[in-house]
A and B are shown apart, each in its own frame.
Chain A
Amino acid sequence: MRYNALKILKEGLTGNKNWKPVWREPEPKSEYDVIIIGGGGHGLATAYYLAKNHGITNVAVLEKGYIGSGNVGRNTTIVRANYMIPGNSEFYSHSLKLWETMESELNYNAMHSQRGVINLFHSDGQRDAAARRGNMMISQGDDAILLDRDGVRKELPYLDFDNHRFPVYGGLFHKRGGNARHDAVAWGYARAADQLGVDLIQKCAVTGIDIVNGKVTGVQTSLGPIRGKKVAIVVAGRSSEVAAMAGLEVPIESHILQAFVSEGLKPAINHVVTFGMGHFYISQSDKGGLVFGGDLDFHASYSQRGNLPMMEHVMEAGMSLMPAIGKAKVLRSWGGIMDMTPDGSFIIDKTEVENLYMDCGWCYGGFKAIPASGWCMAHLMAEDKPHEVAKKHTFDRFRTGVGLMDEESKGSQHNLH
């Protein structure tokens, strides 16, 4: 069933009685050409592009909870292409282009909104860095505008421009950046994959990975064994756990990232805004809630709830930048498990086990990557060679030290990103 305006009108006038479930709920078959472990954004996009781009439709996505129960449904949804390092630059540029056509392709409203991302800067040094980043973005084919203080004032009149400690010098404005409705991205890819024949198996936890003579043959699950010719591990924060089922040790440490939502307010914040002098970024959802966050709690954790120090820091940083939000009440806060790599960049690669692939290491930035990650992972699995825009994202870069993609030049160590 395709959605269209006429159908919505008709259903609206007849009590919305004839909507059908959006995807099937099949029993798992005994064997698939491809098994994807993990029904988050990346797993679902991989399944969709395997079917769409490569005609591989005998595919199962095994999800231990429900579709969208992981990070894909608990992130702050920023979509942007402002990475600088070769490898990341072309990958995120590709991803943003896919975002721009994804909704019409999937026939699903993911509420992708290119409202613009403004990264503020507060010193001459930060201005130079922003100018350099902007030039890199333009040379990779994306957009960037360097705003001076008055330019920022026009876009974001509500900032505290008179803050003596953190004066606003200007901002880097990425107009094609923005955000989206996170669940809808998962649902959109899930529905489209289902329509192409992919089996979405929910409440199916993978508990073991079967390997014979160095080759993967299938998985053990809470619903019994399932054979698979190729298997992909796409489980974000749980990467180490699932990799261990195949005897693999991976360069990942799981950390917690928090986010916060306020009560619903009238539209006030029309962009995604990031503060340059503390860990704070904000946007306003279509329901009116202010959605904001900061940085990792900075220690390995699977707790899915954060600690008070980062919470306090985020609130303080927010109050320094835009004191007006102090009147809003925070409704909810939560944490997600981030699969941190040493250099802060992701991995889409084969593993030492034949026909076993991994897509992981998304750190705190994997939402914007969903389309390109699915695209490149599907390419890797179908063609057995890496896609051009993801070929630098190997496991081996850590072993050799060649080709590390450390966007922030902090060093190749998990706790530094």
Chain B
Amino acid sequence: MRIKCPLCGERDRREFYYLGAKDYLTRPEESNLDAMHKYLHIRENPCGLTEDLWQHEAGCRAWLLIERNTATHEIFKVELVNNKKDSK
């Protein structure tokens, strides 16, 4: 798998750290235990199209939102999380 970082260009998979589903972009109030549980643990975990968070750890260290297919290794879209962040 190769990932095209918007800042560095196409790089090998091993330069990237995978965090998890894009749920991590919308952190709920910590006092809301149910929402917090969902945020931390519950995953849609689709077979097919998904969006998740990666960091270009061994490159520019930018956080990336990647749209890809979990069944085929195809990558459709890589965006900087900073440009996306309407959330908290």
Contact = CB atoms under 8 A, between A and B. Distances in A.
A146 B48 CA distance: 46
A251 B41 CA distance: 5
B84 interface: no
Interface in A239-291: 240-241, 249-254
A309 B3 CA distance: 13
Contacts of A250: 42-43, 45
B13 A309 contact: yes
A302 B20 contact: no
Interface in A369-417: 398-399, 412-415
A295 to B, nearest CB: 13
A299 interface: yes
A309 B71 CA distance: 18
A158 interface: no
Given A309-B13, A412-B40, A413-B20, A299 B47 contact: no
Interface size class of A (residues with CB under 8 A): 20 to 34
A307 interface: yes
A301 interface: yes
Given A240-B43, A252-B45, A253-B45, A398 B21 contact: no
Contacts of B50: 300
B42 A300 contact: no
A96 B48 CA distance: 37
Interface size class of B (residues with CB under 8 A): 20 to 34
A11 to B, nearest CB: 44
Contact of B37 (A252, A301, A303, A399): A399
A413 B21 CA distance: 11
Interface in B24-63: 33-34, 37-38, 40-48, 50, 52, 54
Interface string A292-317: 00000011111100011100000000
A302 to B, nearest CB: 4
Given A253-B20, A303-B71, A415-B19, A399 B33 contact: yes
B47 A302 contact: yes
A395 B18 CA distance: 25
Given A253-B20, A302-B70, 13 more contacts: A249-B43, A250-B43, A299-B18, A299-B52, A300-B18, A301-B71, A303-B72, A309-B12, A309-B13, A342-B41, A399-B33, A412-B41, A415-B20
24 contacts: A240-B43, A240-B44, A240-B46, A241-B47, A249-B38, A249-B42, A249-B43, A251-B43, A252-B43, A298-B18, A299-B52, A300-B21, A300-B50, A300-B52, A302-B48, A302-B71, A303-B70, A303-B71, A307-B1, A308-B13, A309-B12, A398-B41, A399-B41, A413-B40
Interface of B: 1, 12-14, 18-21, 33-34, 37-38, 40-48, 50, 52, 54, 70-73
Top 8 nearest A-B pairs (CB, nearest first) are: A240-B45, A299-B18, A251-B41, A309-B14, A302-B47, A398-B41, A399-B37, A249-B42
